[in-house]
Chains A and B, each alone.
Chain A
Amino acid sequence: MPSAPLSASPSAPRPTGVRDVFAVFVYVLLVCVPALGLAGVVPDFRLDGSIAVHERPKLARASWEDESFQPLFAAWFESRLGLRGTFALADNTVLYHAFHETKLGASVKLGGDGVLLNDEDTLFFNRTDLPPAEAFDAFAARIAHLQARLQKRGAALVPVIIPAKTSMYPDRVESKWRKPVPSLRPSDVAYANLVRALRAHGAAFVDARALLTARPEPRAYLYARGARHWSYLASCLATQRIFETYGALTGRVAPSYACDYVARADAPLLHEDYDLLRLMNVWGARPDVDRDPVVFLEPGPVQTVAPVDVLVVGTSFCWNFLKDSQRAGAFGRTHFFYYNRRLFDWPSSTEQELVVGSPAWRNAALGKQLYILDLFESYPIPLHATDFLDQLEAALP
């Protein structure tokens, strides 16, 4: 078998110069400085977002031999390295500015015109395996049934179809985040099926997708370019409709819910309006999402009607309902079943695990006047909704 001749002998040692010593010093710094982060002595940039915390694993012969110790130790070691934030920011910045991309697998996807998207929304936008029309019918029937039962008890169950960001900005989903789907996009078909099914079963609901896409305001007022969730203005407009529906279902006079706003170009962005941007952890991207005025809701009129006791069941989109609830004085005793997994008391924001049937659950779930059920579009027939419908149905006397 042929083979090329190879240089075999060690090369002759080259005399050391000052440059060599300095270069070795630089290399040693590069190798050692991050490691000094383990001692907490290396200043660093803080990364935004929730980052997994790794505990230092206990060393034992068995865990070493079965190699379960090694990956845990490596994860702990990496999580404690110095300059981690700096390196991550620098790398993300190169990706963003040089390639108009985020890190592979990152939850933030770049859309057109500075619009940031969440991976859940881009996935939903391209999904073809959505539930069939019959499934939406069955779901709507359950909603209508419980709505009717509650109505008899003087309470209102109001489902709210909350639009995905891709429904507000379909034209900003770039081709690289599109898969070939039928011309009638399945995600739009799923939405249409839900609306049709709710109407067919006579269920009252708030279609915030239709409401918001028809609004005259710029889209960024309702869904900021850099935001994961809808804006306070968008949730306020939905809340207006929720109280209107509440009034129609219960026959009571609903509290008024004003959504007057001012748009200020000189104000800094609200945290909620650029959380996706922060999650990207990039330097110099702020101007891309900073071009829109910031919308502030005006204080509402003094409430002449007693506030309504409310239970909100849903996703993180519901935080805007809660955070805005004090402004109008329309919400009375309020609880939030976050994904129907965690129970929050509002406005104290005390939190506990949600245990169905427990005294805390019964206190929060029963006896409310208004039940707001979040039907966020990206989760068609969401589990939190179906579970809650079953649980409340079973608990009602």
Chain B
Amino acid sequence: MPFSSLLFLHGFLPLFLAAYWLTPRRFKNFTGIAGSLLFYAWGAPRFLPVVALLGVGDYYLSHAIARRTALATPAGAQVAKRLLALGVCTHLCMLGYFKYSNFFMGQVNDALGHFGARHLDWVSVVLPIGISFITFEEISYLTDVYRGDAKPARSLGHYLLFLTFFPHSIAGPIFRWKDLAAQLDARTQSFALVREGFARFSVGLAKKVLLADSIAVVADGVFALPAAQLTTGLGWLGACAYTLQIYFDFSGYSDMAIGLGKMCGFTFKENFDMPYVAASVTEFWQRWHISLSRWLRDYLYIPLGGNRRGEHRATLNVIIVFTLSGLWHGAAWSFVVWGLYHGLFVALERVTGSLRDRVPLALRHAGTMVVVVVGWVFFRAPSLPSALHVLGAMAGLGPGAPLEVFPAELYPSFALVAMIVGALVVAYQLFTKYGPAAPIDGAALRGLAPWRVALSYVPGPVLFLASIAHLTNSRVAPLIYFKF
């Protein structure tokens, strides 16, 4: 049940919010758990018991780890380490089975086929929604408890709510227990916060429905074209469209998650910080999917040695982390290449260091965008060969055979306008980076004339209304009929 579905917006959301708001403060967490379990059960009913069992296991494991760590003895530390290893391995195995076994078996069978051997029988495994995010949250929880960075959950209910809370269970942000633990105990609830939540949710919904989904028409169309019909222009159009689509889609989803959190009194950390204003690939990753970048830094890069073992090892660690990050995004070689590609650029930036500062800022921005846009081709293309075809076309090697689709369906006006609006949003973000910052938040509103404050309340409902109108229309398909 995506947040941008009518069932969520007009069914689940009002029912959940009504129940949540009417629940006495001390029982709100239970309502949160019940709603979240229902939400999860709707999308992945068969996986729900697994999530619940793993959650219960984590809870008791974390307490065991904390008890052993508290002993402050070598033996206790050793047991705690083993318990942590048990927990981490369990979660990685689950992730491996559900997310990568199909990919792995596909590779094995390809190899067997290459040598003329018979394929192994394999029943395809269904990927449960949100497993990548949940796994990372579980690992970070156990690790933080082991490291002493966080206390174990006070109650099983707290932990289950942290793990399954529906605003983040599908597409993040990746929660950290230590960031949320205090809010699970006590949080404020007010009309102001709920209003902010709805406004943020509306912005996210509009990003997703009005911009990302419209721009997706162009990206989907271009990436579905046969290689022979690709031209340089179409290749770049498709790559740029996807660059905008994925940003507005993903950041819109994060906005919706943050907004939903606010409606329930939670404050989640930001997951995006104007990534396309980055002047380097390194900076891009400081602004894109921030919760993932932080997770990879704290639970992969640093355990690998970080930059404590010399520059060469640090550079290698960066490449390893990014390559694994690519694999985390999807079980396909194209994702691995995408991760490696970004890793190589970040590593290159480490090596070149201050030399980059001599390049004019505008060129750094442009260069970063080109690297990012080209990288998204690997991410979006259905396969590695397909990505190479698009990249070939972008490089001017496309055969450019006549199109077999209507121009009106490949790049309709509304999609092109959505792209222009998206580009203007990015341009505005660039302006806010280097010009006077102009965020529209509570602090900025203070001191403004009342009518301007009132005016700032208008875009939220308007965006929400426009989004649900567009969504509703996309689900209506009248047909001509002989008795019409």
Enumerate chain A interface residues (CB-CB to B < 8 A): 1-4, 6-11, 13-17, 19-21, 23-24, 26-28, 30-32, 34-35, 47-52, 64-65, 67, 70, 73-74, 77-78, 81, 83-84, 86-88, 90-92, 95, 98-101, 103-107, 109, 118, 122, 126, 174-180, 228, 275-276, 279, 281, 316, 319, 338
Decide: B481 and A49 in contact? CB cutoff 8 A. yes
- Decide: A8 near B179, CB < 8 A? Known: A1-B318, A104-B217, A179-B403: yes
Extra A-B contacts (20), CB below 8 Å, given A9-B267, A275-B480? A2-B282, A19-B453, A20-B191, A23-B198, A24-B198, A30-B461, A34-B6, A49-B481, A50-B478, A64-B41, A70-B1, A78-B7, A84-B472, A84-B476, A99-B412, A101-B414, A105-B477, A176-B407, A176-B408, A178-B406
Decide: A13 and B478 in contact? CB cutoff 8 A. no
How far apart are A123's CB and chain B's nearest CB, in angstroms?
9
What is the interface size of chain B, counting residues whose CB is below 8 A from a CB of the partner?
86
- Decide: A16 near B468, CB < 8 A? Known: A4-B273, A35-B14, A51-B478: no
Q: Among A30, A48, A70, A118, which residue has its beta carbon within 8 angstroms of that of B478?
A: A48
Cα of A28 to Cα of B7 in the assembled complex, Å: 15
25 contacts between A and B (CB under 8 A): A1-B306, A2-B285, A3-B294, A13-B190, A14-B190, A17-B192, A19-B457, A20-B195, A27-B202, A32-B14, A34-B6, A50-B483, A70-B1, A77-B11, A78-B475, A87-B469, A87-B473, A88-B476, A91-B473, A99-B417, A100-B413, A104-B409, A104-B412, A177-B407, A178-B407
Decide: B188 and A13 in contact? CB cutoff 8 A. yes
Query: B321 — which chain A residues lie within 8 A by C-beta?
Result: 1
| Chain B 38-49 near chain A by CB (<8 Å), digits 1 or 0 | 000111011000
Decide: B465 and A30 in contact? CB cutoff 8 A. yes
How far apart are A45's CB and chain B's nearest CB, in angstroms?
12
Enumerate chain B interface residues (CB-CB to A < 8 A): 1, 5-7, 9-11, 13-14, 17, 41-43, 45-46, 179, 183, 187-188, 190-196, 198-199, 202, 217, 266-267, 269-270, 273, 282, 285-287, 290, 293-294, 296-297, 300-301, 306, 317-318, 321, 402-409, 412-414, 417, 442, 453-454, 457, 460-461, 464-465, 468-470, 472-484
Query: B13 — which chain A residues lie within 8 A by C-beta?
Result: 31
Q: Among A4, A28, A32, which residue has its beta carbon within 8 angstroms of that of B287?
A: A4
Query: A83 — which chain B residues lie within 8 A by C-beta?
Result: 472
Cα of A73 to Cα of B41 in the assembled complex, Å: 14
Query: A279 — which chain B residues lie within 8 A by C-beta?
Result: 478-480, 484
Q: Among A49, A70, A180, A319, which residue has its beta carbon within 8 angstroms of that of B42?
A: A70
Q: Among B45, B306, B442, which residue has its beta carbon within 8 angstroms of that of A65?
A: B45
Cα of A361 to Cα of B414 in the assembled complex, Å: 50
Query: A88 — which chain B residues lie within 8 A by C-beta?
Result: 469, 472-473, 476
Interface of B is mostly: helix
How far apart are B182's CB and chain A's nearest CB, in angstroms?
8
Query: A21 — which chain B residues lie within 8 A by C-beta?
Result: 191
Chain A, Cβ-Cβ closest to B199: A23
Query: B482 — which chain A residues lie within 8 A by C-beta?
Result: 316, 319, 338
Q: Among B202, B294, B407, B469, which residue has its beta carbon within 8 angstroms of that of A175?
A: B407
- Decide: A91 near B45, CB < 8 A? Known: A3-B297, A32-B14, A49-B478: no
Chain B, Cβ-Cβ closest to A174: B408
Chain A, Cβ-Cβ closest to B271: A6
Cα of A1 to Cα of B481 in the assembled complex, Å: 61
How far apart are A41's CB and chain B's nearest CB, in angstroms?
14
Query: B409 — which chain A residues lie within 8 A by C-beta?
Result: 104
Cα of A236 to Cα of B456 in the assembled complex, Å: 61
How far apart are B22's CB and chain A's nearest CB, in angstroms?
13
How far apart are B327's CB and chain A's nearest CB, in angstroms?
16
Cα of A73 to Cα of B468 in the assembled complex, Å: 19
How far apart are B21's CB and chain A's nearest CB, in angstroms?
10
- Decide: A35 near B413, CB < 8 A? Known: A23-B198, A24-B191: no
How far apart are B400's CB and chain A's nearest CB, in angstroms?
11
Query: A91 — which chain B residues lie within 8 A by C-beta?
Result: 469-470, 472-473
Decide: B464 and A30 in contact? CB cutoff 8 A. yes
Q: Among B46, B188, B266, B269, which residue has its beta carbon within 8 angstroms of that of A6?
A: B269
- Decide: A31 near B14, CB < 8 A? Known: A6-B270, A7-B269, A84-B476: yes
Q: Among B10, B195, B290, B484, which residue has its beta carbon within 8 angstroms of that of A32?
A: B10
Query: A106 — which chain B residues lie within 8 A by C-beta?
Result: 477
Decide: B293 and A3 in contact? CB cutoff 8 A. yes
How far apart are B242's CB and chain A's nearest CB, in angstroms?
17
Decide: A81 and B406 in contact? CB cutoff 8 A. no
Query: A281 — which chain B residues lie within 8 A by C-beta?
Result: 478
How far apart are A138's CB and chain B's nearest CB, in angstroms?
28
- Decide: A1 near B191, CB < 8 A? Known: A19-B454, A99-B417: no
Cα of A74 to Cα of B183 in the assembled complex, Å: 33
Query: A28 — which chain B residues lie within 8 A by C-beta?
Result: 14
Decide: A8 and B10 in contact? CB cutoff 8 A. no
Cα of A98 to Cα of B245 in the assembled complex, Å: 22
Q: Among A1, A34, A51, A64, which residue has its beta carbon within 8 angstroms of that of B10?
A: A34
- Decide: A23 near B477, CB < 8 A? Known: A78-B6, A101-B412: no
Chain A, Cβ-Cβ closest to B178: A8
- Decide: A48 near B10, CB < 8 A? Known: A87-B469, A107-B479: no
Query: A180 — which chain B residues lie within 8 A by C-beta?
Result: 402-403
Decide: A276 and B480 in contact? CB cutoff 8 A. yes
- Decide: A15 near B192, CB < 8 A? Known: A4-B290, A177-B408: yes
